[in-house]
Amino acid sequence: MGSYANFEVHRNKAHKGNNLFQKGRNYNKESENLTKSQRLMNGVALWASFYKENPHRFASEYLNIHLRPWQQLVIWGMFHNNYSMFMAARGLGKTWITAVYCIIRCILMPESKIVVASGVLSQAMKIVTEKIPEIMLNSPMLKREIFEIQSNSNSDKPNVSFHNGSWIKVVPSTENARSARANVLILDEFRLIDFKIYKDVLRRFLATSRQPRYLIKSEYSHLQERNIEIFLSSCKYKFEWSYDRFKVFYNSMLQEKKYFLCGLPYQISIMSGLVMKAQLQDEINEEDWDNISWLMEMECKFFGESEKAYFKLDKIEACRRNEQPFYLPHVYNYVNNKKFALPEKIHNEKRIISCDIATMSGDANDASVFSLITLTPNKTNTAYIRSVVYMENVIGGHTVYQALKIRYLYEYFQCDYIVLDTQNAGISIYDSLCTELVDKKNDIVYEPLSCINDEDIAKRCQFGDAKKVIYSIKGHERLNSEIAIALQDCILRNKIRFLVNDNSAYEYLYKLKGFATLSPEQQVELLMPYRQTSALVNEMINLEQIPNDKGLVKLKEPRGKRKDRFTSVSYCNYIINEIEKEDFKKERDVIDVDAYMLFN
């Protein structure tokens, strides 16, 4: 067999140092001596460190959760900052992102304690009842990590418990939530949470940070973790505390502090396929589209009234106290609850249906609006508290059809009076109301009604025994000024009540048994009075006062915008003032005499 003299393999040559670059590897004898279990735990530590730095990769590689690029950014930002704020358009999936973040943190950080507080408790509970169970369907590894899920928000036990000691709990944003303790505080729809509750109750949950066992060793004592606060919401008005908090995050982020602020508008929803572009285009093209609500909820921008605005948003919002609106009969039938019905009239209560009339449809013209306002005496029995409990707008429509609509609402809501704008097309509506009207749809014949405050208008009614319940009102420069001042006065003196905002409405409606199982169309009908109220508020804060030489208040709406809801409510409020003077005349006379005698 042939051979080479003095032959050596390359590793032996390198071992002798002849060629540094061909020198063999000097294996770590210490790692070779480790047991299989020790090598496994070293690998776990390495991967855990990697995934803590890259939580978005943990979601895809371990949990089998596909994240879009912007979702990866949000998750990463939440993990690497002490304070995070995520402002997002409706439909972008804030609740789902929150659920994913909670899952990742609970797995990678054993014994994590996460508390989710919300302005709308039912919305926050979806993390437990909907989002996490949905993620578990496609994530076998998540099923292995979770020990138990409970959907009872009233229990002291965590809603989601993990085998490694971590847990997630949903709590209401009230004084009663004081017993909770957490390392991570998540505020869902935080703008709806009272700032005092956040500061004095919820923030106090973060009493102690997470205490992993390695902190006992002196060499790791410097690795103490900070507690985390996360704020989630859509944008709203600038007078709310959420805007002040937004500015704090913005300035802190610019100073390179550990603050993370992210706002994503509706274009991201379209790009991600979460919302169809055609659907949003249809919504924008609807005649009753509210551009201010769109700006805040879809474009992710805070809104504040202009310096010239006559009605101030914070004053109006202070009057949004009523939770319970009035509905038409078919809406009450959606919910199988005897208590959910049209409220009976109480002693000395009055109800007025107010109508601002239009017969043409189109973006540049007004719509007919029918508003129901209830009147109840105040505690001293010297004035009426007004509550706007129902509102409906009709884009165009024949005068007879609108007259039938008014008569039906008048009878159904057990109204005492009708306030009617008799300018232009309104006089035709009045003429129809002065005659017998046949409602074929409801199989009712309505008796004629007549005017109570204008003799010339009353003469148009050919029925001498017609009930005088219609207040005619014809706007002109001086009267419009008085009407605007009267409404402003009622707002500042808290004499008028509006329905609560949409999110508070959800909280109220979700308490109704069966609401969650209704179709989306039925839920929208239940929410409609609240949305009409929000549209009314937006109309009011858009009205700017124009200077004039007569010393009158003249209000002008932006070009192409409407003020029909404002007109309906303000006209009615003006008439209520006249009714109030008459009904409480005796009580006021007594008070004036007593005051005079005391003075003398």
Q: Give the CATH number for residue 228.
A: 3.40.50.300
Strand partners, 394: 368
**Domain check: are 393 and 446 in the same one?**
yes
**What's the pLDDT at 143?**
93
Count the alpha carbons within 13 Å of 186 in the hemisphere toward its beta carbon.
28
Beta strands in 216-258 (DSSP E): 228-233
Q: Is residue 443 part of a domain?
A: yes
135 CA to centre of own chain: 25
- The rounded distance, in Å, linking the Cα atoms of 421 and 567 is 9
Q: Which of 143, 147, 141 is nearest to 161 (CA)?
A: 147
From the CA atom positions of the chain, what is the Rg in Å?
Answer: 33
**Domain check: are 261 and 329 in the same one?**
no
Q: Is residue 289 part of a domain?
A: no
Q: How distant, in Å, are the alpha carbons of 154, 314, 371, 490, 536 from that of 318?
A: 30, 6, 20, 12, 15
Residues 6+ apart with CB under 8 A from 145: 103, 106, 107, 162, 163, 164
**Domain check: are 340 and 484 in the same one?**
yes
Q: What is the mean pLDDT of residues 459-479?
A: 90
C-beta of residue 526 within 8 angstroms of C-beta of residue 334: yes
Burial class (CB in 10 A: 0-12, 13-18, 19+), 162: buried
Q: What is the mean pLDDT of residues 527-540?
A: 92
C-beta of residue 447 within 8 angstroms of C-beta of residue 465: no
**Domain check: are 243 and 391 in the same one?**
no
Which phi and psi angles does 272 have, rounded to 5°?
-85, -5
**What's the pLDDT at 368?**
87
Other C-beta atoms lying within 10 Å of the C-beta of residue 290 = 20
**Domain check: are 192 and 139 in the same one?**
yes
**Would you say how long the chain is, in residues?**
600
Q: Is the pLDDT of residue 96 over 60?
A: yes
**Domain check: are 494 and 358 in the same one?**
yes
227 CA to centre of own chain: 27
Amino acid occupying residue 248 = V
Domain that holds residue 216: 55-271
Last-in-domain residue among 271, 300, 333: 271
What region, left, alpha or beta, does residue 281 occupy, with left being phi > 0 and alpha being psi -120 to 50 degrees? alpha
Burial class (CB in 10 A: 0-12, 13-18, 19+), 344: exposed
**What's the pLDDT at 222?**
85
3-class DSSP assignment, residue 238: coil
As given in the structure block, the two tokens for residue 227 are 């507690």
Q: Is residue 288 part of a domain?
A: no
Which phi and psi angles does 464 have, rounded to 5°?
-65, -30
Q: Is the pLDDT of residue 598 over 80?
A: no
Render 450-489 in DSSP notation, one character per residue: EESS-HHHHTT---TT-EEEEEEE---HHHHHHHHHHHHH
**Domain check: are 496 and 446 in the same one?**
yes
Higher pLDDT, 314 or 396: 314
Q: Is the pLDDT of residue 22 over 90?
A: no
Task: Supply the angle between the helices 477-492 and 564-583 in degrees, to the nearest 10.
Answer: 80
C-beta of residue 446 within 8 angstroms of C-beta of residue 439: yes
Q: How distant, in Å, are the alpha carbons of 277, 296, 333 from that of 524?
A: 21, 19, 14
Beta strands in 280-358 (DSSP E): 320-322, 350-356
Q: Which alpha helices (H) appear in 493-557, and where do they start and end?
A: 502-510, 520-542
Burial class (CB in 10 A: 0-12, 13-18, 19+), 532: buried
**Domain check: are 360 and 241 in the same one?**
no
Q: Is residue 179 part of a domain?
A: yes
**Domain check: are 261 and 197 in the same one?**
yes
Q: What is the mean pLDDT of residues 131-141?
A: 92
**Domain check: are 240 and 384 in the same one?**
no
**Domain check: are 348 and 236 in the same one?**
no
Pairing of strands 384-394, 417-421: unpaired
Q: Is the pLDDT of residue 496 over 50?
A: yes
Strand partners, 261: 85
- The rounded distance, in Å, linking the Cα atoms of 565 and 538 is 10
Arithmetic mean of pLDDT over the chain: 86
Q: Is residue 596 part of a domain?
A: no
Q: How distant, in Å, are the alpha carbons of 19, 89, 403, 467 from that of 464?
A: 122, 58, 20, 9
To 5 degrees, how large is the angle CA 302–CA 308–CA 311?
75
Q: What is the mean pLDDT of residues 92-117?
A: 92
**What's the pLDDT at 591?**
47
Amino acid occupying residue 448 = P
Q: What is the mean pLDDT of residues 568-588?
A: 87
Query: For residue 441, what is the domain's CATH number?
Result: 3.30.420.240
**DSSP for residue 436:** -
- The rounded distance, in Å, linking the Cα atoms of 152 and 173 is 16
Last-in-domain residue among 271, 299, 329: 271
73 CA to centre of own chain: 25
Q: What percent of the chain has pLDDT over 90?
A: 46
Strand partners, 263: 87
Q: Is the pLDDT of residue 588 over 70?
A: no
Q: Is residue 517 part of a domain?
A: yes
- The rounded distance, in Å, linking the Cα atoms of 24 and 550 is 100
Q: Is residue 28 part of a domain?
A: no
Q: What is the mean pLDDT of residues 322-349?
A: 91
Q: Is residue 501 part of a domain?
A: yes
Last-in-domain residue among 214, 247, 271: 271
Which phi and psi angles does 489 have, rounded to 5°?
-60, -45
**Domain check: are 319 and 196 in the same one?**
no
Higher pLDDT, 317 or 23: 317
243-271 pLDDT, tens digit per residue, is 999 999 999 999 999 999 999 999 999 99
**What's the pLDDT at 596?**
39
44-57 pLDDT, tens digit per residue, is 888 889 999 999 99
Q: Is the pLDDT of residue 16 over 60?
A: no
pTM (2 decimals)? 0.70
470 CA to centre of own chain: 37
**What's the pLDDT at 13?**
58
As given in the structure block, the two tokens for residue 166 are 């971590």
Render 154-221 in DSSP notation, one character per residue: TSSS-SEEETTS-EEEEEESSGGGTT---SEEEEETGGGS-HHHIIIIIGGG--S----GGGGSGGGG
Number of domains in the chain: 2
Terminal Cα distance for the chain, rounded: 141
